[in-house]
């Protein structure tokens, strides 16, 4: 079914059929930049819908539309409406309210983080999960300590979101995390956890934070041997073994980069190739250099993006050569490359 026009979607938010209202919400979540203010206002009105699923869907749509810094479009009143949904009788709606607050709020907004704080101790793991995610993103007071506590959560998925959040904040806020005296001990306790994916993510977090750790479970993520691993976990594993200089990862990276018979459809193919190049693998370095001169823009840009992620300063001559040969790259990517890998151009 094709998306309805904006005006039709607004009108259908009040349709008598729940299915139609849900479809209208999905269409408004895809609003153009010029329509987003009106879409937010319309969706805020849906937060009073009699059906919990519709209210929850509206909150997810508001989160998808993202925040606005403009006061004139009524954004603050919309944010207050979302905050009010934290008292909704439906647990599902309260979860999605936490999600939306994390996407719509500004960092260090004490009114929002104070409203989220009680849910960090909720009996429902879904509420603990969503509130921890939002609380950390908004840098609520004591957020690093809350992440450390969540590593001991009885629910493995709450523990997992804490580990993923640690991976996200490690570069910019690693020093603040390390000030939490219990953090390292909690992470090391997870190395022997029954949940092997959480063990792998604990290894990655320890490495990111500058602690010594052996990457045993992380290698299992690369080898596709751990169920439940998300794409973000695979990317983190590839980056970690590359930065750690983990040569035991070479055969696993080659499998992702080149497949069994020289052809790979792995979504992380270029990242694996860049990781091999960083680990001084000759084939990885050769293929990456060729990728930078690939006539197909999608392949060429993917190779450059992998360089940005893996921070391969040693490939600067290859990037310059590719540009001298007439292969273009977006200025934005070149700027990111210069910042991440220390390139001079």
245 Cα distance to chain centroid: 24
Contact 55, 45 (CB under 8 A): no
Banded pLDDT at 225 (limits 50, 70, 90): confident
Note whether 313 and 343 are within 8 A (CB).
yes
Q: What tokens appear for 154 in the block?
A: 């009885």
Mean per-residue pLDDT for 89-108? 96
Q: What is the pLDDT of residues 14-24, one digit of tens each?
A: 999 999 999 99
pLDDT per position as a tens digit, 172-191 = 999 999 999 999 999 999 99
Task: Give the tens place of pLDDT for each residue, 34-91.
Answer: 899 999 999 999 999 999 999 999 999 999 999 886 655 588 899 999 999 999 999 9
What pLDDT, on the 0 to 100 scale, is given for residue 164?
97
Distance CA 232, CA 157 (A): 15
CA 313, CA 337: separation in Å to the nearest integer?
A: 9
Cα–Cα distance for residue pair 58/43, rounded to 1 Å: 6
**Under 8 Å between Cβ of 151 and 186:** yes
So what's the pLDDT on residue 3? 60
| Local confidence band at 340 (pLDDT 50, 70, 90 cut-offs) | confident
CATH pick for 1-105 out of 2.40.50.100, 3.40.50.720, 1.20.81.30, 1.25.10.10: 1.25.10.10
**What Rg value do the Cα atoms of the chain yield, rounded?**
23
Q: For residue 185, what are the contacts with CB-CB under 8 A and spacing of at least 6?
A: none
pTM as predicted: 0.89
Burial class from Cβ neighbours inside 10 Å (0-12, 13-18, 19+) for residue 1 reads exposed
pLDDT at 210: 95
Name the E strands within the chain: none
Tell me, letter by letter, the H, E, C secondary structure of 76-111: HHHHHHHHHHHHCCCHHHHHHHHHHHHHHCCCCCHH
Rounded to the nearest integer, the mean pLDDT of the chain is 93
- Mean per-residue pLDDT, 334-344: 78
Which fold, 107-207?
Answer: 1.25.10
Query: Is residue 218 within a helix (H) or strand (E), and if so which, with residue range?
Result: helix 216-222
Pick the closest to residue 57 from 9, 93, 94 (CA basis): 93
pLDDT for position 337: 85
Residues of the chain with CATH 1.25.10.10: 1-105
| Model pLDDT, residue 71 | 57
What Å distances lie between residue 329 and 200, 217, 317, CA to CA?
A: 35, 37, 15
pLDDT at 261: 85
Instruction: Look up tokens 């910042």; give the residue.
Output: 339
């Amino acid at each position: 079914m094709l998306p309805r026009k904006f005006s039709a979607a607004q009108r259908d938010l009040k349709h008598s059929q729940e299915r139609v209202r849900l479809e209208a919400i999905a269409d408004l979540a895809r609003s153009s930049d010029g329509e987003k203010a009106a879409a937010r206002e319309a969706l805020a009105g849906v937060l009073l819908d009699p059906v919990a699923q519709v209210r929850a869907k509206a909150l997810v749509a508001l989160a998808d539309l993202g925040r606005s810094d403009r006061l004139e479009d009524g954004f603050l009143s919309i944010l207050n409406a979302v905050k009010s949904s934290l008292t909704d009788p439906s647990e599902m709606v309260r979860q999605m309210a936490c999600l939306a607050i994390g996407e719509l709020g500004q960092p260090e907004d004490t009114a929002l983080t104070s409203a989220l704080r009680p849910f960090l101790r909720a009996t429902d793991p879904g509420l603990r999960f969503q509130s921890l995610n939002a609380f950390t993103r908004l840098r609520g007071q004591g957020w690093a300590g809350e992440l450390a506590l969540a590593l001991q959560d009885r629910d493995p998925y709450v523990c997992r979101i804490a580990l993923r959040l640690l991976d996200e904040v490690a570069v910019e806020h690693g020093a603040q995390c390390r000030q939490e005296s219990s953090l390292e001990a909690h992470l090391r306790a997870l190395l022997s956890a029954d949940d092997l994916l959480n063990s792998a993510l604990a290894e990655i977090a320890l490495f990111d934070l500058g602690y010594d750790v052996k990457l045993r479970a992380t290698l299992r993520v690369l080898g596709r041997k751990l169920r439940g691993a998300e794409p973000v976990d695979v990317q983190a594993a590839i980056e970690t073994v590359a930065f750690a200089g983990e040569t035991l990862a070479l055969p696993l990276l080659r499998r992702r980069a080149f497949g069994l018979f020289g052809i790979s459809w792995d979504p992380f193919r270029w990242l694996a190739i860049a990781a091999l190049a960083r680990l001084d693998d000759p084939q990885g370095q050769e293929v990456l250099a060729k990728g930078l001169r690939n006539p197909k823009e999608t392949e060429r840009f993917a190779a450059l993006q992998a360089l940005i992620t893996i921070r391969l300063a040693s490939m600067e001559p290859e990037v310059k050569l590719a540009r001298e040969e007439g292969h273009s790259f977006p200025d934005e990517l070149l700027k990111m490359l210069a910042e991440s890998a220390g390139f001079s151009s």
